[in-house]
Structure 1
Amino acid sequence: MHAILTGPVFNVYYPVLAAIGVPANLVVIVILSKRRCGLSRCINCYLVSIAVADLLVVVTVVILNRTAGIYFPFSFLSITPMCSLRSALNYAALDATAWLTVAFTFDRFVAISCHKLKITYCTEKMAAWIIAIISAVACVKNAFLYFQYEPMYMINNTPWFCSIKIIVYTSPAWAANDWIAFILTPLLPFILIILLNALTVSHILAANRSRKRIRFRSNAESQSDREMVKRRKSIVLLFTISGSFVLLYLLCFIWIPYVRFANVIYTSVSNFSNSTFIIQETGFMLQLLSSCINPFIYAGTQSKFRTELQNGLKYPMNLFIKVFKI
């Protein structure tokens, strides 16, 4: 993610993404932390952690990496040691976001499909442990990325920018490491989210058929309907979050193995006539867009979240009116 980007598309896209992503994720963290949205403590814990990880992605990747690289290309952030450190932080934040999404998807699968395991697994304490483990592993896994870069330029004995070392493309050890990294993120999260959602859908369809038979025999329409409405809201939230992740990561999912199989070198300079550069950067742009999508998903699917958001927006206006009247 260390391309030297120029052009109106990048100049506008990344600042706008940062301007939307930072306040949107902060709002999500504040609202969900109040626990007034009718979500279980377990779900709330996962959604807050995903929002924090998304915020870190926006800050480290979108602002400190992409936007700073476009508008302040020769700041201290572009010195090779800082550039290498930013790379490790970038991928750690992206890994954490991906695996927290997997953890949330698995938690909902257990809650819907495994009623016995649900009692011990779907708890706030268990969610906190899983979030802590995912965060620690993401940091450790990506720490070594610091050493895969070399200076792109030497100016007055100062190393500037980051270029991936040629040995990364030729060494069997680095190739194995690259494949392991790809398998861990995004391959496994991609497959696990699709698989867990498929199993969840299968269980829901079977449960709905059974429920309809019970309702038909007992005529307990209202009670069954309330249960199905509650379940439907949970499913909509799950599928929109995991579905958006799959769609926005799809191009990167295809692109990364293609680099290895076709021996393509990552393009480091903007070149809109190069199809490789266009595909590469489009994949990155969509991947980073995923860090701003969830707040809009919550607003679109959760009525209590919308109410809290509206109350938050009204508060400054009401305060201003009170001060003005005084």
Structure 2
Amino acid sequence: MIMAEINIDVNSTVLLGAYPECVNTAKQNTVLNETLFGKDASGTRVPTVLIGSEDYPALYKIIALTVPLVIFTVGILGNLLVIIVISRRRSMQTPTNCYLISLSVADCLLLLSATLPSIPEPFFRRNHWPWGRAMCSVLVFVQYLGADASALSITAFTLERYIAICHPMKAQTICTTRRAKRIIISLWGFSILYCTPWLGLTTMTYTVACDGSSPLHTCTYRLERESYLLYYMTDFFIFYVFPLLLSGILYSFIIRILFNKSALDSDGSKAPDYSNRCRQTSKSRFQNDDNYALCLQVIRMLVVIVAVFAMLWLPYRAIVVYNSLANNKYLNIWFWLFCRVMVYINSAVNPILYSLMSLKFRKAYRRILSCRE
């Protein structure tokens, strides 16, 4: 879980060793069993830990406040602009752009459920969850939903481009806007069903602070961390490893086809048939070259989106896998901040990539922003 993962990992008995004064307090407590077990919102006894109510360092507070705030502002405005541009301009309503809308919606969910609540986090005590029991489950669910839906959206537009370019005859019936909308509804339905267990797998604990301050409310696992290992590994492979492997294979086929086309053109022979923008028609050679250049532009943009997704999600995915398998979990707050910021950037950067790499998006942005629509 992107935002609460650090809180969940910190809320473990490993930290008892980090606060010897708390261990001594626990040993002297005549009701040790009740001290180490608290109750969640439903009254169920759950493990808890005696910890100190540490504050975040000043530099950490500044960075953890300003960076997510900037990312959230840019990301929300950019993704909303993408949704508006594609929705309002008929020429932009292609199958690929339908998947880009799905990706923008998923990114907005991540920004709202992970980035926005993290902005005031440095001003609370470390490990404290101020948003309540219901928000603990809901925000974790929405975070996973946004992350998984974005991975599936990337996989979907990769498949769509592969079929459109490598199997143009099939693409005439498969790569349609109507079918793309049905696929988007299906992948969101699957993501919702897959992520629903998180609504019941998280809970709130009320942790006793050994320095006498008010109890810490922590969003944490309902079960032991080890019980979630299969879920984490499944999530890692289905929504990170598999999309990247599939994208790498399919884009290699696409690039080979496009280079083959270039070779045929240089020899003066007839170019293969392409669907949609890449389809060769009986128009002038200049027009055919324009279509081909536009196709390459779209492919380059999509490849960059996949590469950015892989790089920015890697630190977070790697540390979650490591902490799920290692006995001594890595809990450095600076590294966790770095991992989370990378995920936040991934949710905000796509509209910028569209603008930098797509002439059609740049023109559409200008028309919308200048109110010429």
Normalising by structure 1, we get a TM-score of 0.81
* SS of equivalent residue, structure 1 residue 299: helix
Report the CA distance between 1:68 and its aligned residue. Answer: 4.5
- The Cα shift of 1:266 comes to 6.2
Structure 2 CA distance, aligned partners of 1:143 and 1:216? 52
How far does residue 296 in structure 1 lie from its aligned partner after superposition? 0.8
Instruction: Return the offset for 1:13.
Output: 1.0
Structure with the bigger percentage of helix:
1
Shift of 1:145: 1.6
**Paired residues of 1:148 and 1:168 also in contact (CA < 8 A):** no
Q: Of 353, 359, 368, which aligns to 1:303? A: 359
Code of the residue aligned with 1:291 in structure 2: it is: S
Amino acid aligned to 1:118: A
Query: 1:202 matched to which residue of 2?
Result: 256
Could you tell me which of 40, 46, 61 is aligned with 1:7?
61
User: What amino acid maps onto 1:100 in structure 2?
Assistant: S
Q: 1:100 aligns to what? A: 153
Is the counterpart of residue 236 in structure 1 residue 321 in structure 2? no
The runs of 5 or more residues in structure 1 that have no matched partner are: 268-273, 319-326
In 2, the alpha carbon distance for the partners of 1:308 and 1:227 equals 18
Q: 2:170 aligns with which of 114, 117, 123?
A: 117
Aligned length: 301
- Alpha carbons 1:108, 1:238 under 8 Å: kept: no
User: Within the alignment, does 1:257 sit opposite 2:321 as a pair?
Assistant: yes
**Secondary structure of the equivalent of 2:217?**
strand
Does residue 214 of structure 1 match 2:268? yes
The answer (yes or no) to whether the contact 2:106–2:149 under 8 Å persists in 1 is yes
Task: Give the 3 Å change call, closer, same or farther, for CA 200–164 of structure 1 in structure 2.
Answer: same
Q: Which letter maps to 1:69?
A: E
1:177 Cα deviation (Å)? 2.2
Whether contact under 8 Å (1:258, 1:264) holds in the other structure is no
> Closer, same or farther in 2 for the Cα pair 1:178/1:304, shift >3 Å?
closer
Match of 1:285 among 333, 341, 354: 341
Alignment of 1:1-326 (within 5 A): 1-2=3-4, 3=6, 7-35=61-89, 38-39=91-92, 41-63=94-116, 65-70=117-122, 78-153=131-206, 160-165=217-222, 167-169=224-226, 171=227, 174-215=228-269, 222=286, 224-265=288-329, 267=331, 274=332, 277-315=333-371
Shift of 1:162: 0.7
SS of equivalent to 2:89: coil
Q: Secondary structure of the residue that 1:162 maps to in structure 2?
A: strand
| Corresponding letter in the other structure for 1:105 | T
1:271 maps to what in 2?
Answer: none
Structure 2 CA distance for partners of 1:182 and 1:146, relative to 1, 3 Å: same
Q: Distance in 1 between matches of 2:177 and 2:328?
A: 45
Aligned-partner Cα distance in 1 for 2:106–2:204: 29
Query: Hey, what's the Cα distance between the residues in 2 that align with 1:260 and 1:84?
Result: 20
Q: Secondary structure at the match of 2:219?
A: strand
- The alpha-carbon distance between structure 1 residues 162 and 48, as it changes in their structure 2 partners (threshold 3 A), is same
- The CA deviation at 1:227 is 3.5
Match for 1:119: what amino acid? Answer: Q
TM-fit CA distance, 1:59 = 1.2
Q: Superposition RMSD on alpha carbons, in Å?
A: 3.0
* Separation in structure 2 between the aligned mates of residue 9 and residue 101 of structure 1, nearest angstrom: 30
Distance in 2 of aligned mates of 1:180 and 1:76: 27
Task: Name the CA distance, whole Å, in 2 between partners of 1:129 and 1:12.
Answer: 39
Letter aligned with residue 245 of structure 1: F
Deviations 1:148-195 (A, max 9, x none): 33434258x9982312356122x3xx3222211222222222222222
More divergent stretch after superposition (129-138 vs 38-47): 38-47
Q: Structure 1 CA distance, aligned partners of 2:178 and 2:369?
A: 32
Q: Which has the larger radius of gyration?
A: 2
Question: Compared with structure 1, are the counterparts of its residues 84 and 307 closer, same or farther at alpha carbon in structure 2 (3 Å cutoff)?
Answer: same
Deviations 1:223-247 (A, max 9, x none): 5423421322222222222222122
Cα distance in 2, alignment partners of residues 264 and 142 from structure 1 = 27
User: One-letter code of the match for 2:250?
Assistant: L
